[in-house]
C-alpha cells in the first residue's frame, strides 16, 4: 500500500472567547480529534454545513493555525514539530486556493506581482518564465501580467488564485470552497480546470466544500464533518451513505442529482451550540433514528473496513 502524502492524527483545535467584565470566558472545539490520510494523487473531499470546522481543518493541515493537540505529517515529516525556517521550506510543496477571489488578491498589485508573491515569501528569485507559464496553464494570456485584479471577472480572478497557488509547483493543494462565490456556469469551468491540472501536474488535493453533490462529482473519497468531528468517510464518491446526517445532506438538496435523494426526513432542527455540546451524539436532536443510547453516549467513528461511520444505528 502507498504511504500517505498527508496524515492527520488526533487533530483538534479549541478557540477561547470572552473573559471580559461582562462576559464569562467560553471555549469551543472547532475541530475534534480528526484522524485521516490522503494518498499521493488523491482528491479527498471534506463536506459539511457552515461552521462544521472544515475551513479550520484546512488551515490546520497547512499549519496556518496551530493545533491544540494532534499531529500533521506531510510526506513523513511531522509539520507540527517544525521550527519556522523548516516549516517555510516544507511549505514550498504545499499551497492553498482561497474561497473568495475578490479578497484574496491585493487590488494594488499587478498580476505579475500577485504571481511573484510565493517566490518572495520563499525568498527565491522570481522566475518570469514561470509566471507566464502559470498564467498559460490556467488559460489566461500572458498579456494580462500587467493587469490589476479589478480588471478581471470573478472566474478570471479565481484562475489567477490557482496560478499563484501552483507557482512553486507544489505537490499538495488545499482548495477551500474554490467555487463557492462564482456563478454556476463558471464553477464548472474552474472544476474542469482543477481536474485537468491535477492530471497534468500530478497534484494531490484536499477539497473543502458545503456542496455534497460537487464533492461527490470531483473527489475520490469524501469525509463528512459535523460540529468539528468526522461522522463518515465515504470510500468512493458514489458509495451509499450510511450516516443519517450524510443522507440528510443529500435529501436537503446539497446534492443536485435527484437519483441520490432518499425517502427520509429532510435536514431540519437546530444545530447545538458548539460552546455547549450535548453529552451523546451531537446529531441526536436532528436525527430521525435517535434513541436513548444516542442521547447518552457519543458514537465512535468505526466499522466496515474503509467505510467508517460514527453512528449507533447506521443505514
Identify the helix (H) or strand (E) that includes residue 291: none
Q: Is 226 in the site for ligand SF4 (CB under 6 A)?
A: no
Q: Mapping DSSP to helix (H, G, I), strand (E, B) and coil, where does residue 10 land?
A: strand
Stretch that binds ligand SF4, among 37-45, 107-115, 144-152, 283-291 (CB under 6 A): 283-291
Going by C-beta distance under 8 Å and a sequence separation of 6 or more, which residues neighbour residue 157? 101, 102, 105, 149
Q: Is 190 in the site for ligand SF4 (CB under 6 A)?
A: no
Q: At its nearest, how many Å lie between ligand SF4 and the CB of residue 289?
A: 4
**Of residues 173, 230, 287, 301, which one binds ligand SF4 by CB under 6 A?**
287
C-alpha cell at 58: 484546512
Size of the site for ligand SF4 (CB under 6 A): 12
Stretch that binds ligand SF4, among 6-14, 20-28, 164-172, 284-292 (CB under 6 A): 284-292
- E strands, 39-156, are 43-47, 69-74, 77-78, 94-97
**Of residues 244, 255, 274, 301, which one binds ligand SF4 by CB under 6 A?**
244
Q: Is 311 in the site for ligand SF4 (CB under 6 A)?
A: yes
Q: Is 284 in the site for ligand SF4 (CB under 6 A)?
A: yes
Q: Is 312 in the site for ligand SF4 (CB under 6 A)?
A: yes
CB 180 within 8 A of CB 172: no
Q: Is 290 in the site for ligand SF4 (CB under 6 A)?
A: yes
CB 279 within 8 A of CB 298: yes
Cα distance between residue 264 and residue 259, in whole Å: 14
Q: Is 228 in the site for ligand SF4 (CB under 6 A)?
A: no
**Closest CB to ligand SF4 among residues 72, 249:** 249
Q: Is 230 in the site for ligand SF4 (CB under 6 A)?
A: no
Q: At its nearest, how many Å lie between ligand SF4 and the CB of residue 299?
A: 4
Task: Report CA-CA distances (Å) from 81 to 56, 88, 178, 314.
Answer: 19, 13, 29, 38
Going by C-beta distance under 8 Å and a sequence separation of 6 or more, which residues neighbour residue 71? 7, 8, 9, 10, 11, 78, 80, 81
Q: Is 313 in the site for ligand SF4 (CB under 6 A)?
A: yes
List, edge to edge, every strand of the sheet that includes 172-176: 94-97, 172-176, 204-209, 43-47, 221-226, 229-234
**Of residues 162, 294, 301, 308, which one binds ligand SF4 by CB under 6 A?**
294
**Closest CB to ligand SF4 among residues 49, 220:** 49
C-alpha cell at 36: 485521516
Question: Where do contacts with ligand SF4 occur on this chain (CB under 6 A)?
Answer: 244, 281, 283-284, 287, 289-290, 294, 299, 311-313
Amino acid at each position: 500500500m502507498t504511504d500517505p502524502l498527508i496524515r492527520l492524527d488526533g487533530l483538534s483545535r479549541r478557540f477561547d472567547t470572552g473573559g471580559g467584565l461582562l462576559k464569562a470566558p467560553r471555549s469551543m472545539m472547532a475541530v475534534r480529534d480528526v484522524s485521516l490520510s490522503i494518498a499521493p494523487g488523491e482528491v479527498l473531499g471534506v463536506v459539511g454545513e457552515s461552521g462544521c470546522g472544515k475551513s479550520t481543518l484546512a488551515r490546520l493541515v497547512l499549519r496556518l493555525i496551530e493545533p491544540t493537540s494532534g499531529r500533521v505529517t506531510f510526506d513523513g515529516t511531522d509539520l507540527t514539530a517544525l521550527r519556522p525556517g523548516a516549516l517555510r521550506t516544507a511549505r514550498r510543496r504545499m499551497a492553498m486556493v482561497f474561497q473568495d477571489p475578490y479578497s484574496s488578491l491585493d487590488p494594488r498589485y499587478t498580476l505579475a506581482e500577485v504571481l511573484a508573491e510565493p517566490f518572495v515569501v520563499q525568498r527565491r528569485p522570481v522566475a518570469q518564465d514561470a509566471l507566464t507559464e502559470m498564467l498559460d496553464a490556467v488559460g489566461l494570456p500572458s498579456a494580462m501580467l500587467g493587469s490589476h485584479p479589478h480588471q478581471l471577472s470573478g472566474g478570471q480572478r479565481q484562475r489567477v488564485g490557482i496560478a499563484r497557488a501552483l507557482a512553486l509547483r507544489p505537490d499538495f493543494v488545499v482548495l477551500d470552497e474554490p467555487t463557492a462565490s462564482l456563478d454556476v456556469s463558471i464553477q464548472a469551468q474552474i472544476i474542469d480546470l482543477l481536474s485537468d491540472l491535477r492530471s497534468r501536474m500530478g497534484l494531490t488535493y484536499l477539497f473543502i466544500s458545503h456542496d455534497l453533490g460537487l464533492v461527490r462529482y470531483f473527489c475520490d473519497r469524501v469525509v463528512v464533518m459535523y460540529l468539528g468531528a468526522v461522522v463518515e468517510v465515504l470510500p468512493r464518491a458514489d458509495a451509499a451513505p450510511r450516516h443519517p446526517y450524510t443522507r440528510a445532506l443529500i435529501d436537503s438538496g446539497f446534492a443536485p442529482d435527484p437519483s441520490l435523494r432518499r425517502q427520509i426526513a429532510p435536514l431540519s432542527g437546530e444545530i447545538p451550540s458548539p460552546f455547549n455540546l450535548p453529552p451523546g451524539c451531537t446529531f441526536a436532536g436532528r436525527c430521525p433514528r435517535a434513541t436513548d443510547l444516542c442521547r447518552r453516549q457519543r458514537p465512535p467513528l468505526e466499522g466496515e473496513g474503509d467505510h467508517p461511520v460514527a453512528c449507533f444505528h447506521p443505514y
